[in-house]
Amino acid sequence: MFLAISFATAGIWEENFDDRMPEGWKTIVGKWKVTKKTLTQITNESYCKIMFGDVAWKDYSVSVDITVGEGQHPCNCVGLLIREDQEGENGYRF
């Protein structure tokens, strides 16, 4: 999976994954690594999640580039979670 994420509020916040895990990102399920400006899930666990953000953010837009690789989970699915709780269980899923 590849993610390129940017947000626009009073300015622009963008993450380019410069060969390091970004500050403030929290792994909820699974294991992740950053290489070659790409965030990659490196386990075959179901429903892996990594989260970031600030509860004070309001009226923002999100742009994400995702590449789905081959996985062992039957659905081989990807989702974008918006306004999730800290466990990644409640919010909006796309």
Q: Which residue has the higher pLDDT, 36 or 68?
A: 36
Q: What percent of the chain has pLDDT over 70?
A: 82
Angle ∠(53,15,45) on CA atoms, nearest 5: 70
**Burial (0-12, 13-18, 19+ Cβ within 10 Å), 41:** buried
β-partners of residue 38 are: 35
Residue 72 CA to residue 93 CA, distance in Å, equals 22
Residue 73 banded pLDDT, cuts 50, 70, 90? low
Q: What is the pLDDT of residue 70?
A: 73
* Predicted confidence (pLDDT) at residue 34 exceeds the cutoff of 50: yes
* Predicted confidence (pLDDT) at residue 1 exceeds the cutoff of 60: no
Domain parsing of the chain, residue ranges: 2-93
